[in-house]
Amino acid sequence: MRWRVLVALVAGAAALGAATEVELHYFWSTTCPDCLVMKAYLAELQQRYPELRVVAHEVTFSPDNWRLMVTLGEAYGLTKEVTPTVFVGDLAVTGIGLGVELRIEEEVVRCRAEGCPSPLERLPTKLRRVLSPLEIALILVVGVAVLLLVWK
């Protein structure tokens, strides 16, 4: 696997003049410590590849961003909704670690050389109708409050 990354990096360096913009979508949560690690990695990656455009989506307090992440995840074949999640080119990956970072960089290099559509082009016409964790929490709080009022 490492040799593929090295080959991709060398090929990417050779095609430096022909590099195209690469769009990466990063879904994160304010309550996720791993998301801070991914954010720092993506900032470093952006410095190495100026053509990389990182679009960050906070999902804790934005139900629409949560639905976007879930719908995009389904389009890419992901089965769990977790953060951090990254979509770039043909890659959808969750979590952190060296393996995840190498896969992201390999896909960024490939997309720079070959060109890749925005991950958003995989979206269906409508986002999946799913409640976000915030909406579920609010429903539970309101439900408990109503029950407490009724029982008084």
pLDDT tens for the chain, 152 residues long, are: 555 544 455 555 544 455 789 999 999 999 999 999 999 999 999 999 999 999 999 999 999 999 999 999 999 999 998 999 999 999 999 999 999 999 999 999 999 999 999 999 998 877 767 766 666 666 766 666 666 677 87
Exposed, middle or buried, 126 (CB in 10 Å: 0-12/13-18/19+)?
Answer: exposed
Task: Print burial letters for 9-46: b (CB count within 10 Å at least 16), e (below 16).
Answer: eeebeeeeeebeebbbbbbbbeebebbebbbebbeebe
Which amino acid belongs to residue 124? P
Listed residue (53, 90, 94, 54) closest to 70, CA to CA: 94
pLDDT at 15: 47
Bond before 119 cis per omega within 30 degrees: no
pLDDT at 53: 97
Exposed, middle or buried, 89 (CB in 10 Å: 0-12/13-18/19+)?
Answer: buried
DSSP H/E element including 53: strand 52-58
Provide the residue ranges of all domains of the chain, joining segments of one domain with +. Answer: 2-151
CATH code, residues 2-151:
3.40.30.10
Kindly state the greatest CA–CA separation across the chain: 74
What pTM was computed for the model?
0.76
pLDDT at 20: 86
